[in-house]
Amino acid sequence: MDSEYAITTQDLTKVYRSRWTRREVRAIDGVSLNVRRGTIFGLLGPNGAGKTTFVKTLLSAVRPTRGSALIFGRDASQPEARRPIGYLPENHRFPTYFTGAGMLDFYAALSGVDAARRKKLIPEQLELVGLSEWATMRIGKYSKGMLQRLGLAQALIHSPTILILDEPTDGVDPVGRRQIRDILGGFEARGVTIFINSHLLAEVETFCREVAILHKGKVALSGKMQDLTAGKGYRLSVPHPPEALTEELRGRATSMAVRDGLVDFQFPSRELANGALDLLRAEHCEIEALAPTTSTLEDVFVRTVSK
């Protein structure tokens, strides 16, 4: 537990081979990542990029073909290395014969929580995720959002020091999402490392401190969120510009959007933005706003996976 990194992977590679045709698919290919202790890390990537395989190798559900995965410096294939992990799988299938409390009791026991502590922790966790009143109800009756919150309680009940969450807000309504973010925020404050695998870029952008984008099984981009989305251009907002000028500026801008009677042009550099401003002023157009912009994570993501 004295490692600087919560997760370390080195040249992690998983090749699936078809049993009959011997065709190979490289799900992940030489992935080397370091996730610092106490950070909130987002793993992104298009479908089939290898995110799920990567997460499964961390949990030893998938055996890597090559390379290593360490959890707090310990080989992830060792059962003890997984003791500090709280995991919420995507598309989980919790046994429906459990009640909410029964399910927490079972998974907490598997995580090594003794009976006395479980008795104390189960009501607390159910309260935390807002399911106290459903404690004795069979989970077959739970909605998808409720199951997701119960799954989160299951991941948290043994006080893990690293949380691996696969699409944690999947199927949860906006209020529930906020609630989950607040809960996870509390764990971040306690120094828990949170590793999120998600498709919801806006959510990852607001919540994660660091991010990596997997593409075709390789790390295409990684870094701190603020560095990746820092100053990337200028937005010029103009009310009702003449049509001919609009067309000309559209050609110079990286993007154009119309909203509420305003036309927003996005320019990649200050020079281009000033040039556009000169043209608009020459035509006596009014300017609503000129502001530097940062890239959204979505911009970064699209640019990265489009290469």
Partner 1 sequence: MVTLALISDTFREALARKIFWVLFGLSTLLILFFLFLLRIDIASGATATITLFGRQAGANPNVDRLVRGVYGGIATFLYTWGMFLAVFASAGLIPSVLEPGRIELLLSKPLSRTHILLGRFAGNVLVVALNTSYLVLGVWIILGLKTGIWSPVFLISIATTTFIFAVLLSVVVFIGVTLESAAAATMITVALMIISPILAQTSLMMRLLSSEWSRNLWRGIYYSLPKVYEVGKMTLDAIQSRTFAGYAPIWSSAVFGAVVLGAALAIFQRRDF
Q: Which amino acid, one-letter code, is at 158?
A: H
DSSP H helical ranges for the chain = 51-58, 100-110, 115-128, 144-156, 174-189, 201-207, 225-228, 243-252, 270-282, 297-306
Helix (H, G, I), strand (E, B) or coil at 287: coil
Q: Does 117 bind partner 1 (CB under 8 A)?
A: no
Residue 65 burial (C-beta neighbours within 10 Å; 0-12, 13-18, 19+): middle
The span of 28-36, 54-62, 215-223, 286-294 binding partner 1 (CB under 8 A) equals 54-62
Query: Radius of gyration over alpha carbons of the chain, in Å?
Result: 24
Instruction: Name residues contacting partner 1, limited to 87-116 (CB under 8 A).
Output: 87, 89-98, 102, 106-107, 109-112, 114-115
Cβ atoms of residues 175 and 21 within 8 Å: no
Residues 239-298 that bind partner 1 (CB under 8 A): none
**Among 38-46, 86-94, 125-133, 248-256, which window interacts with partner 1 (CB under 8 A)?**
86-94
**Binding to partner 1 (CB under 8 A): which residues in 158-217?**
164
Q: Measured from the CB of residue 193, what is the shortest distance to partner 1 in angstroms? A: 15
Q: Rule CB under 8 A: choose which of 23, 63, 259, 307 binds partner 1.
A: 63
Return the number of the residue (81 or 213) whose C-beta is nearest partner 1.
81
Query: CA-CA distance, 98 to 108, in Å (whole number)?
Result: 14
Least spacing, CB of residue 163 vs partner 1, in Å: 11
b or e along 230-239 (b: 16 or more beta carbons within 10 Å of the residue's beta carbon)?
eebbbbbbbe
Q: Which of 224, 303, 213 is CA-nearest to residue 31?
A: 213
Number of residues engaging partner 1 in binding (CB under 8 A): 35
Q: Which is nearer to partner 1, 58 or 238 (CB)?
A: 58
- List contacts with partner 1 (CB under 8 A): 16, 56, 59-63, 79-83, 85, 87, 89-98, 102, 106-107, 109-112, 114-115, 154, 164
